[in-house]
Chains A and B, each alone.
Chain A
Amino acid sequence: MTMLIADWQWGYDGWIIVITSLVAMTCAIPGSLLLVRRQSMLGDAVSHAVLPGIAIGFLVSGTRDGGWMLAGAIVAGLATGMLTQFLRGLGGVDRGAALGVVFTTLFALGLVLIVQVADSVDLDPSCVLYGQVELAPLDVVVWSGIEMPRAVPWLLGVLVVTFLIVQVLWKELLVASFDPATAAAQGARPNLMQQVLMVLVAAGCVVAFEAVGSILVVSLLVAPAAAARLVTNRLRPMMLVAMLIGIVAAIGGHLSALTVPGWLALETTDVSTSGATAVFATFLVVLAVLASPQQGLFFGVFYRLAFRFRIAEEDLLGVLYRREVESRGLGQSTGVHLSELGGGGPGLAFRGIMRFAAIRLRWRRFVTQSGLIPHPDQIQLTDAGRSRATVLIRRHRLWELYLAGAAAIPVDHLHATAMDLEHLANPELLASLEAEAAKGERDPHGRVIPRD
């Protein structure tokens, strides 16, 4: 680390990463709940709406002491929810519109207040908006014998409390988020849970405001949760993964803030960790989109390719099996030369895939080289290969039997469709297909359906 970045200092840069990580973890918890409730933009609204609360906290205490700001922000967060409900209750105002009106008004009020108090309190409006994590390590306290930034014990406290609240109210938050009507029917108070969530979001916004400012906090509320949702499908692991992703964003954000301007040959000594962290968090979302096991682009391409190669292997086994049956008793060679395949049509890609399939089949000892002059392209089935091919041929003919019978597809159309279907290896599907076997010993072309 020290090697890579010239002016890296553990006592300074290390603390910046710790602070940003704590913030990101605290935000990831309510952020995950917001995401699964499809209320992510509520996080945006609350992050803006807490501003007057923070400003009033300043005004009352006269310091940047966290407790007052937290209290003010929580009140403002709750007020956002209630004012929005009130506007909707007046009738005719759409939920989104009501929220939009409320949070921008509160944000504007907060701006006015902050500019007013900025003269009397040591507070810079731009720090409130864009964060000032670079200054945080300079303001130190000694806590249990270790000198650390004043923000750290404070952030740690909020993180622990947030975690505990979600842990204790887990069931109630879960059912209120998934099915509020049933929750209410059971007396689980979904509206109260919504308020609890608002408090957690507001708390996250206050702690984040120190690190990334009140505008970028929404990226820490939304991005780690969105990335985590793509790679998990349970809420609890999702929350933990979101916290981890938050830490990665904090580390990656600060490192790229230090290094990227240098790569771009920008002549600047200023770094914006908050901006870089938000960008890095988005980068992680993109990564999750690509790598998600369920809907990811990377795995999608990978599975399609793998499937294509499997089809090639199975087709090759099928060709070898049919050749054996045809040549039985004719004294011909039972092998196949790869150049015989494809009829010259499909071209280079097809031959490449077939050659690769042949190599894989030899590797798995399903085929061996054959012929007078052994050549890797001249192959025939082994015993293991023959029993594997029997399974596939059986599947093919069972499909033909089914298609001709139940689906009433003309006999001359059967083969091509069955060629596609025989590669499906879904166990439930195969079990149902086996049930078709009771209907006959021969396929619609009159060929015996082999037993495996």
Chain B
Amino acid sequence: MPVHHRHRNPPIGPEHDPHAAMSIHDVTVAYHRRPVLWDLDLDIPRGVLAAVVGPNGAGKSTMIKACLDLVPRVSGSIRLLGDEIAAVRGRIGYVPQRETVDWDFPVSALDVVCMGLYRKIGWFRPVRRRHRDAAMEALDRVGLADFADRQISRLSGGQQQRVFLARALVQDADLYFMDEPFASVDAATEQAILEVLRSLRDSGRTVIVVHHDLQTTRDYFDWLVLLNTRLVAAGRIEETWTQENLRATYGGRLTLLEAAGWAMGTAGSGQIRP
């Protein structure tokens, strides 16, 4: 259950860059009191295609969920597009991991894409013809116009991933968070998705992508965030893509920090931060 924080600080303090697409200050996130992200300080500028890279359990998805207020954070503050999350929800698009939903659900591809418009349509109002037309256009952009009426379980994995992408596109957001959009798709689909992401970036949007494939990171992205339960490095990809940084990200866990996390998860005290 997401916790809705009452922020006591002003909308934007000196610790946040108002021009950043995403600005994270001193954020720690814990599951059942066990921290999975420690003391994160991170700014991502607008108009970049950014990869979030790190080993399994590094807190990549958690970082995105914390930005969207889907998981509670223990401390710190986050600003998106220079504002509180609640104030900019309509300008944020989210593509969760494909496995998080039940693809046997009785809806068509077009129905799923229409869900991207629900916020724009507003509570209690029905989906109308023009909304369906907009959703159709988004499906066309990802090359799935012919599959609009198909029940989603009858789509291939790559097509399902593109349906999710189309749902994000139809939102017409300024900042996108995508959790492994390239996971288990074929090469052709990967190129199609990449093309869409680049066109988003080229039209001035910011796209933040959790990515697993180190082979392609350097070619696909122009901004890099290296994460392993704490920030290893972040910045332009030419500057951050170094052997040293990668080794620091993937080469061995910070065993002491991890052990401390487990200890906090099991300790009976209500004290969360040391």
In the bound complex, CA of A229 to CA of B102 (Å): 14
B101 touches A179 (CB 8 A): yes
> When the two chains form the complex, which single residue of B32, B70, B108 contacts A185, counting CB atoms closer than 8 Å?
B70
**Contacts A181-B94, A184-B68, A191-B1 given; does A171 touch B121 at CB 8 Å:** yes
Contact A235 B106 (CB under 8 A): yes
| A234 x B106 contact (CB < 8 A) | yes
B66-102 vs A, CB cutoff 8 Å, 1 = contact: the mask equals: 0011100000000000000010010010101000111
CA distance in complex: A238, B96 (Å): 27
Task: Report chain A residues within 8 Å CB of B102.
Answer: 36, 38, 178
Q: Which residues A164-180 have CB closer than 8 A to chain B?
A: 168-172, 174-175, 177-179
Interface 1/0 per residue, A204-246 and B, CB below 8 Å:
0000000000000000000000000100111100100000000
Would A168 and B124 count as touching, CB distance under 8 A?
yes
CA of A104 to CA of B45 in the docked complex: distance in angstroms? 54
**Chain B residue at minimum C-beta to C-beta distance from A85:** B1
Residues of A in contact, count (CB < 8 Å): 28
Tell me whether B115 and A36 are in contact (CB under 8 A): no
Let me know if A188 and B106 touch, CB within 8 A.
Answer: no
Contact A232 B89 (CB under 8 A): no
| Contact call B124/A174, Cβ cutoff below 8 A | no
Interface residues of A in 7-51 (CB under 8 A from B): 36, 38
Establish whether residues A187 and B107, one from each chain, have CB atoms under 8 Å apart when the complex forms: no
* Nearest CB of B to A405, in Å: 21
Answer whether residue B119 sits at the interface, using C-beta atoms and an 8 A cutoff. yes
Q: Smallest CB-CB separation from B171: which chain A residue?
A: A186
Which A residues are CB-close (under 8 A) to B2? 184
Q: B106 near A232 (CB under 8 angstroms)? A: yes
Alpha-carbon separation in the docked complex, A309 to B115 (Å): 44
Say if the beta carbon of A91 comes within 8 Å of chain B.
yes
How far does the Cβ of B45 sit from chain A's closest Cβ, in whole Å?
Answer: 22
| Residue in contact with A238 in the complex, picked from B65, B94, B106, CB distance below 8 Å | B106
Given A178-B112, A182-B167, A234-B107, 8 additional A-B pairs, CB 8 A: A36-B105, A171-B127, A179-B96, A182-B115, A184-B70, A185-B92, A229-B106, A234-B111
Interface residues in chain B, defined as those with a beta carbon under 8 Å from any beta carbon in chain A: 1-2, 32, 65, 68-70, 86, 89, 92, 94, 96, 100-102, 105-108, 111-112, 115, 118-119, 121, 123-127, 151, 167
Binding site for B on A (CB under 8 A): 36, 38, 85, 91, 168-172, 174-175, 177-179, 181-182, 184-188, 191, 229, 232-235, 238
